[in-house]
Structure 1
Amino acid sequence: MKPQVWVRHGVLITYGAALDTALHRHHAIQLVWAKGVSSCQWQAGSVSGNIIIDSQVEHKLQLNEGWILLVEPQSELGLRLRQMIAGKEVIQFNHLLEPYSKPNPKRRPNELLAPLLNTLNLTFTVDPQSAPTLDRRIQTLLTKLDRCLQGECQKPANWRASEVASELSMSESRFRHLFRTEMGIAWRPYLRWRRLSCAITAMMSGCSATESAHLTGFADSAHLSRTFRAMFGISIQQAKALFASRSS
């Protein structure tokens, strides 16, 4: 079994094995579809099997083998997952889902995940702009950020809150308030999350950690590595093993 990684608008998808993370938290809602043993530990307890973990819940994850989806909370899929969670931090769902799909280079990950999504009455709609409730100015901003995943990266120096606010014709304080209200997270940590997504894309394309850090606005590879471990619970070296397998 080769580990796999896909980065798409609003979602990061991995398929891996023997995963044992340190304590971490991130902006995304996490969905784990396990083949075999898996467990999640967090402050309120522990649970095993197939799991949905809400945004910003600090947790440790052990996974024998299976799929992990990190979903943008304000996407259509993220909003549906949050409805399923219904205010809880972590929930378990049916661990006997069949058929179970492994990665196949001839098929897209959303096709392979269809049995899971169909069982949960979900659709693979992950673009944050698809959420009908978002303010149009925030939708415009997210569209610009998404260009990074299309190979048009812009360094975070171009994304200072004051500059973004000016471009959107509002004060910085108004922008910060609106963004937090619409997205459920402050601008700065959200931008850090998006920068990490860009760094993953860069490393998947063959860039070193140092090159990826420079391209995405981190001070150096050590800064990128610390941020990566804090958000994903694994090291850059562990992650690059996934990226190498994806490109092989």
Structure 2
Amino acid sequence: MVEPTSQLGEQLGAKLLGKSIVSFMPGADDNKYPPVDKKSAFKRLIPLFESMSIAQALLELNQSSVTDERIQRLLKDLDACFIADCIKPAHWRAADVAQTLNLSKSRFLHLFKDQVGIAWRPFLLWRRLLCALQTLISGRSATEAAYRAGFADSAHLSRTFRSTFGMNIMQAKNLLK
């Protein structure tokens, strides 16, 4: 579930050459010991990246390249959504976020793109989609997942998910079970 317009997403898209999916065989221990943090999840992707000739450094690019403390705090707050319940997207409007960081909206948008490598809106949409998927995986309904992630309804969530990732959200849920 890589954000398609990120540097990693663009690299993967170029390597896929129009194929909608590429699979690889996980190791024997992968199913017994699910990843508990980003570092262990990244380790699992190394064989896939090697098979596609993509530098492993791209996995950690956004994490390691953010030097501005305000953007680091913002990303940490967004990451908290994956541990607990998602924070309603209404609180993530650029103007509101900029104000909490003591920046103008235009400076925040410029700084975020410069630091993270992707514009705020597509990044936030990607995070909202992942939040909805996480909600579904936890056993909640598609309607609740859509509501928690800030979509009008489950149909809106499904259309947006399909246009972003090329599969419907239930297919993604089944892949990640």
Scaled to the shorter chain, the TM-score interval is 0.7 to 0.9
Is 2:129 the partner of 1:196? yes
Q: Pick from 140, 146, 168: which aligns with 1:235?
A: 168
- Residues 212 and 58 of structure 1, relative CA distance in 2, 3 Å threshold: farther
Kindly indicate which of the two structures has a greater share of residues assigned to helix.
2
Q: Pick from 9, 12, 25: which aligns with 1:53?
A: 12
Q: Pick from 99, 102, 107: which aligns with 2:33?
A: 107
Q: Distance in 2 between matches of 1:228 and 1:25?
A: 12
Q: Distance in 1 between matches of 2:60 and 2:139?
A: 26
Secondary structure of 1:144 counterpart: helix
Kindly indicate which of the two structures has a greater share of residues assigned to strand.
1
Deviations 1:149-168 (A, max 9, x none): 01141111111111111111
Which residue in the other structure is 1:66 paired with? Answer: 24
- Is the 1:25–1:230 contact (alpha carbons within 8 Å) kept by the matching residues of 2? no
Q: Pick from 102, 112, 115: which aligns with 1:169?
A: 102
5+ long unaligned stretches in structure 1: 1-11, 14-23, 32-51, 68-99
**CA displacement at 1:60 relative to structure 2:** 3.6
Deviations 1:88-111 (A, max 9, x none): xxxxxxxxxxxx625643224546
Paired residues, what number?
A: 168
- Residues 242 and 155 of structure 1, relative CA distance in 2, 3 Å threshold: same
Secondary structure of 2:20 counterpart: strand
Q: Distance in 1 between matches of 2:66 and 2:128?
A: 25
Is 2:8 the partner of 1:29? yes
Aligned Cα root-mean-square deviation (Å): 3.4
Give the number of the structure whose alpha-carbon radius of gyration is greater: 1
Which residue in the other structure is 1:217 paired with? Answer: 150
TM-score (norm 1): 0.56
Q: How does 1:62-101 map to 2 (within 5 A)?
A: 62-63=21-22, 65-66=23-24, 101=27
Q: Distance in 2 between matches of 1:175 and 1:132?
A: 17
- Residues 234 and 113 of structure 1, relative CA distance in 2, 3 Å threshold: closer
Q: Distance in 2 between matches of 1:230 and 1:58?
A: 17
